[in-house]
Every structure is written in C-alpha cells, then in structure tokens.
Amino acid sequence: MQFIHFLNSHLLDPKIGADRHYSQVLEQAVAADRLGYRGVGIPEHHLVNLLLIPSPLQMAVAIAARTRRVELVTSICQLPIRDMRIFAGEVVQAQALCEGRLMLGVGKGAFGYETGRLGVPMEETRARFEESLAVLEALLTREEVSWDGRWYRFDALTVMPRPDRPVPLQLASMAPEGIEAAARRGYHVQTTPLGASEDILAAQVGAFHRGRAAAPDGGTNRLSLQRGLYLAKDAADAREKLDRAYAYYERFDNVFGGPGLVDHGIVRPLPRKQTIEELGSNLLICERQEMIDKLSHYAELGIDDVISSSNFGQPQAETLEMMERFAAEVMPHVTGLGAEIGE
C-alpha cells in the first residue's frame, strides 16, 4: 500500500485570492514529492469554493515542472462537461509535459450545481460520461476516428500529435456495481466512501477485487481509495481537526446530492443528519498508533493506494507539518503492506 496526497484546495476565505491559493497547492505537491508519497491527487471543480482546481491538467503540468518523481493523478477530470476532441489533445500534451507521470482519472462529476450551470443536467451525466469515455479512448488509440452517437457526431479526424506512450486511465466510481464493472474491464479504479462507515468501504473494496479477478489481463489494475486522513499530535488536535472536517461536510453535502445553495461562489453550510461522533468513527483523524493500526487493516483488505484527504481548512503550516509527521511516523510502518486477494 502506498499514499497519494490529495490537493483539497478549499478556498474557504475568498480574501486569500488566486495567487496565494494556488501557490499553497503547489507547495503541498512539492512536499509530497520530497516526503516519498507515491503521488498527488488533483481534483476538478468549478464555480464553488470547494476543491477548486478548474484545470487539473494545467495543474499537473505545473507540478511536474517542480517535482521529480511523484505521480500526477487527476482526481478526477469531468468528461461530460468537455469536448473529447479537444480534451484528447490536451491529455497528450499534458502526458508529454509530465514526462509520463500522468494518471488520468476520469468521472462523470459530482456536483449538480456545477454541471447544471455548465449546461449538463446531473441526470444526463452518466450517459454522457459513458459515450465520452468511449470517444476519448478511440481518439487516443486510433489515428482516424469518426463517430455517430447520441452526444457525439463527427467525420473522420486524427488527434495530433499522437501519444508516445499509452495514457493510463483510472475510473471514478462509488457504487460497488460500477467499481466491479470497471475493474473487470481492466481499468484502475478510484473510489471513496466519503464519511460513510467501514461497511460501505469494505463493499467497495470487495467489488474491486471481484472485478479484478475476472479481468482478462489477470488483474494488474490498482485500487485507490480516498479517505479523510489526519495524523493528530494529540487528542486535542484530533478533536479540533474533526470539528473542521464536520464543518467541511456541512458544505460538501450541500453540493453533493444536496440543494446546491451557493452565494457568489461560496457554498452554504447546512445541517447534517450524521453526528460528529459518527463522522469521527469513519474518518482517519487520530494519533500515531491508531493510524498505523487502521491503515494496516486497509492494506489487509487489499487497498493499493490511500488518497489522503488531509485539508479541512486548517492553516497551511499545519497541513505541511502533518505531512512531515505522517511520512516520518506512519508511512515506514505501512508502505508496502498488502494482502494477496483471492489466492
């Protein structure tokens, strides 16, 4: 098991401004490269102050120019809001500029407020995603592509330049049936239970391994699981970060399946049904030994990569300090652990 640092990029205080906001994102990515994380996860969202990176490929290239080894994982690029004929060329360019370190994570999008205001109703995103993925793969792997589908119709064309190497694809899915289907088709998979219980997590992991076992190549694809994770210095620090995490989910739930109440780009906090204690039992916000024990269990389940979502709105210095502690006190004990599944 290895670790990917997720670049949460919340702009909770709009007075921070774009320059400082994105310089902090880059600072975290450089730290992840130095500290031995496998990669960094780069989100994509628009029009809201949560997970605010409108161009993940652009961010990947900027990080590649400042780092040496870290994998650049888009987490995720939203296909339904893009034209694949343009996006395919952007992917080829990004992969070249990232010197082969790009892992292209793709999905249908998650915030109805966002997709709706970009002209794609949430109820259409699944169908649009499936056709967009097929078009994207065709454009990246075949020189002459024409299409006659529901969302795309075009005469034969060739994306230029052609990629020098295959672009690895990772599909995002939360539903166990979707995870199993993606793994069976040989895709890398990115999932998350968000703030849900370990029963949900276990169902997602089990679905991946069932699918991977049935994959035609014998199962070389990887499972990356995103989880709220913060290595606390002590009990008081853990409680303070849990309070911040709960406040974050008050906003996240508003745009993820909620009413989408947004004021001038700022997502409103809304009451949650889940208690703070229930959320705390599901996230990894804890001290060293408890963190090692929980992550060792994740490795036993067969999770290849943990995408650590560690920014709940605390100051940048605290995030960087936590990354240092995590790399020194936890990663040596759990990196490389893993159970052989299905043998």
- Express each pLDDT in 140-187 by its tens digit: 999 999 999 999 999 999 999 999 999 999 999 999 999 999 999 999
The verdict on whether omega for the bond into residue 76 sits within 30 degrees of 0, i.e. cis, is yes
pLDDT at 339: 47
pLDDT for residue 1 is more than 90: yes
Q: With b meaning 16 or more CB within 10 Å and e meaning fewer, what string describes 53-83? A: beebbebbbbbbeebeebbbbbbbbbbbbbe
C-beta separation of 251 from 266 below 8 A: no
| Phi and psi at residue 173, to the nearest 5° | -155, 145
Tell which residue, 219, 186, 220, 190, has the closest CA to residue 204: 190
Mean pLDDT, the chain, rounded, equals 95
Q: CA-to-CA distance for 298 and 331, rounded, in angstroms?
A: 13
What is the percent of the chain where pLDDT is above 70? 99
What one-letter code names the amino acid at 340?
E
The pTM is what? 0.96
pLDDT for residue 195 is more than 70: yes
Q: How far is CA 33 from the centre of its chain?
A: 17
| DSSP-derived pairing of the beta strands 188-191 and 169-172 | parallel
The verdict on whether omega for the bond into residue 332 sits within 30 degrees of 0, i.e. cis, is no
Q: CA-to-CA distance for 58 and 124, rounded, in angstroms?
A: 27
pLDDT digits (tens, 9 = 90+) for 103-146: 999 999 999 999 999 999 999 999 999 999 999 999 999 999 99
Q: State the distance between the two ends of the chain, measured CA to CA, in whole angstroms.
A: 18
Confidence of residue 197 (pLDDT cuts 50, 70, 90): confident
pLDDT at 227: 95
| Phi and psi at residue 148, to the nearest 5° | -140, 80
Angle subtended by helix axes 17-35 and 56-64, to nearest 10: 50
pLDDT at 340: 43
Any idea which of 10-14, 205-209, 292-296 has the lowest mean pLDDT? 10-14
pLDDT at 342: 40
pLDDT for residue 275 is more than 60: yes
Q: What is the arithmetic mean of pLDDT over 63-86? A: 98
pLDDT at 337: 85
Q: CA-to-CA distance for 190 and 221, rounded, in angstroms?
A: 11
pLDDT at 343: 39
pLDDT at 52: 95
What is the percent of the chain where pLDDT is above 90? 93
pLDDT at 341: 41
pLDDT at 171: 98
pLDDT digits (tens, 9 = 90+) for 20-39: 999 999 999 999 999 999 99
pLDDT for residue 309 is more than 80: yes
**Per-residue three-class SS string for the chain:** CEEEEECCCCCCCHHHHHHHHHHHHHHHHHHHHHHCCCEEEECCCCCCCCCCCCCHHHHHHHHHCCCCCCEEEECCEEHHHCCHHHHHHHHHHHHHHCCCCEEEEEECCCCHHHHHHCCCCHHHHHHHHHHHHHHHHHHHHCCCEEEECCCCEEEEECCCCCCCCCCCEEEECCCHHHHHHHHHCCCEEEECCCCCCHHHHHHHHHHHHHHHHCCCCCCCCCEEEEEEEEECCCHHHHHHHHHHHHHHHHHHHHHCCCCCCEECCEECCCCCCCCHHHHHHHCEEECHHHHHHHHHHHHHHCCCEEEEECCCCCCHHHHHHHHHHHHHHCHHHHCCCCCCCCC
Residue 194 tokens read as 């968000």
Q: Which residues have C-beta within 8 Å of that of residue 323, sequence separation ≥ 6?
A: 5, 28, 31, 32, 35, 310
pLDDT for residue 69 is more than 80: yes
pLDDT at 181: 97
pLDDT at 143: 95
pLDDT for residue 225 is more than 50: yes
Residue 93 tokens read as 């360019």
